[in-house]
Chain A
Amino acid sequence: MHDFDVLVIGGGHAGVEAACGAARMGARTGLVSFDLNAIGAMSCNPAIGGLGKGHLVREVDALDGVLGRAADAGAIHYRMLNRSKGSAVWGPRVQADRKLFKAEVQRIVHAQGSLALIEGEAAALSLKRGAVAGLELADGTLYRAPRVILCTGTFLGGSLFRGEERFEGGRIGENSAQRLAAQLREAKLPMARLKTGTPPRIDGRTIDWAALPEQPSDDEQWTMSALTPGRVNPQVFCAITRTTEASHAAIRANLHRSPLFSGAIDAAGPRYCPSIEDKIHRFGDRDGHQVFLEPEGLCTHLVYPNGISTSLPVDVQHEMVRAMPGLAAAVIVEPGYAVEYDHIDPRALTPDLQLRAIPGLYCAGQINGTTGYEEAAAQGLVAGLSAAAEELGAAPPALDRANSYIAVMIDDLTLQGVSEPYRMLTSRAEYRLRLRANNASTRLTPLGLDAGCIGTARTEWFEAREASRDELTAIFDRKLHSKLLADADLPVRRDGGEKSVSEWVRHDGIALADLQPWIDEDLTQNAEMLAELAEDAAYAPYLARQEAELRDLRASEGLGLSHDFPFSEVPGLSSEMIERLTSAKPPTLAAAGRVPGITPAALSALLVYARRWQAAA
Chain B
Amino acid sequence: MTDTIFAISSGAPPAAIGIIRISGPLAGSVLEHLSGRDFEPRRASLTTLKNSRGLPLDSALVLWFPGPETATGEDLVELHCHGGRAVLSAVCEALAALRGLRAAEAGEFTRRAFANGRIDLAEAEGLGDLLSAETELQRAAAMQMAGGIFSAQVDEWRSEVLRLSAQVEAALDFSDEDDVSELPPQFAQGLIALSTQLEDWCSRPRVEKLGEGFRVVLAGPPNSGKSTLFNALIESEAAITSDIAGTTRDVIERNVAIESIPFSFVDTAGLHDGSGDQIERIGIERAQVELARADLVLWLGPEGRGPDDAWEIAARADADDFTPKSKAQFAVSASTGVGVQELKLALVEKGRDAMPRPGEAALNARQHALLSDALDALLGAQKVSDPLLCGEELRRARAAFDRLIGKATTEDMLDALFGRFCIGK
Q: Which A residues are closer than 8 A to B by beta carbons? A: 50-52, 81-82, 85-86, 88-89, 91, 272, 283, 286, 289-290, 307, 425-427, 430, 432-433, 508, 542, 545, 549, 552, 555-556, 569, 571-572, 574, 593, 599-605, 607-608, 611
Q: Do A571 and B386 have beta carbons less than 8 Å apart?
A: no
Chain B residue nearest to A543 (CB atoms) is: B392
Q: Does B312 contact A (CB under 8 A)?
A: no
Q: In the complex, identify which listed stretch (B110-118, B261-269, B302-310) lies at the interface while the others stay far away.
A: B110-118
Q: Do A86 and B389 have beta carbons less than 8 Å apart?
A: yes
Can you list 12 pairs linking A and B with CB atoms under 8 Å apart? A51-B174, A52-B173, A85-B171, A85-B388, A86-B388, A286-B179, A290-B178, A549-B399, A556-B410, A571-B112, A572-B73, A572-B112
Taking A52-B173, A85-B172, A599-B117 as given, write out 14 further A-B residue pairs in contact, using a Cβ cutoff of 8 Å, ordered by the A residue number: A85-B386, A86-B386, A89-B388, A289-B179, A290-B178, A426-B172, A542-B389, A555-B411, A571-B1, A571-B112, A593-B408, A601-B118, A603-B408, A603-B409
Among candidates A91, A286, A601, residue contacting B116 with C-beta atoms closer than 8 Å:
A601
Contacts of B112 in A (CB 8 A): 571-572
* CB proximity to A under 8 Å, residues B1-25: 1-2
Among candidates B74, B172, B177, B408, residue contacting A290 with C-beta atoms closer than 8 Å:
B177
Tell me the minimal C-beta distance from A284 to chain B in angstroms: 13
**In the complex, A608→B415 CA distance in Å?**
10
Q: Do A607 and B411 have beta carbons less than 8 Å apart?
A: yes
Tell me the minimal C-beta distance from A52 to chain B in angstroms: 7
Q: Do B115 and A50 have beta carbons less than 8 Å apart?
A: no
Q: Does B96 contact A (CB under 8 A)?
A: no
Q: Which B residues are closer than 8 A to A by beta carbons? A: 1-2, 73-74, 111-112, 114-118, 120-121, 169, 171-179, 385-389, 391-392, 395-396, 399, 402, 405-411, 414
Tell me the minimal C-beta distance from A77 to chain B in angstroms: 14
Among candidates B117, B395, B409, residue contacting A574 with C-beta atoms closer than 8 Å:
B117
**In the complex, A413→B111 CA distance in Å?**
33
Supposing A572-B116, A600-B407, A607-B414 touch, asked if A81 and B175 sit within 8 A by C-beta, the answer is: yes
**In the complex, A433→B395 CA distance in Å?**
12
Supposing A549-B399, A593-B407, A600-B405 touch, asked if A272 and B174 sit within 8 A by C-beta, the answer is: yes
Inter-chain residue pair count (beta carbon < 8 A)? 110
Q: Do B115 and A605 have beta carbons less than 8 Å apart?
A: yes
Q: Do B395 and A430 have beta carbons less than 8 Å apart?
A: yes
Among B117, B173, B175, the one with the most A-chain Cβ atoms within 10 Å of its Cβ is: B173
Chain A residue nearest to B389 (CB atoms) is: A86
Chain A residue nearest to B387 (CB atoms) is: A85
**In the complex, A283→B179 CA distance in Å?**
10
Supposing A427-B169, A608-B111 touch, asked if A542 and B406 sit within 8 A by C-beta, the answer is: no
**In the complex, A164→B47 CA distance in Å?**
77
Contacts of B392 in A (CB 8 A): 433, 542
**In the complex, A290→B177 CA distance in Å?**
7
Q: Do A85 and B175 have beta carbons less than 8 Å apart?
A: yes
Contacts of B115 in A (CB 8 A): 571-572, 601, 604-605, 608
**In the complex, A605→B115 CA distance in Å?**
4
**In the complex, A566→B121 CA distance in Å?**
25
Contacts of A608 in B (CB 8 A): 111, 115, 414
Among candidates A50, A85, A600, residue contacting B120 with C-beta atoms closer than 8 Å:
A600
Chain A residue nearest to B3 (CB atoms) is: A571
Chain A residue nearest to B407 (CB atoms) is: A600
Supposing A427-B391, A604-B115 touch, asked if A89 and B172 sit within 8 A by C-beta, the answer is: yes
Tell me the minimal C-beta distance from A538 to chain B in angstroms: 9
Q: Do B407 and A603 have beta carbons less than 8 Å apart?
A: yes
User: 3 closest A-B pairs (Cβ-Cβ)?
Assistant: A86-B388, A572-B116, A601-B117
Chain B residue nearest to A608 (CB atoms) is: B115
Q: Do B176 and A51 have beta carbons less than 8 Å apart?
A: yes
Contacts of B399 in A (CB 8 A): 549
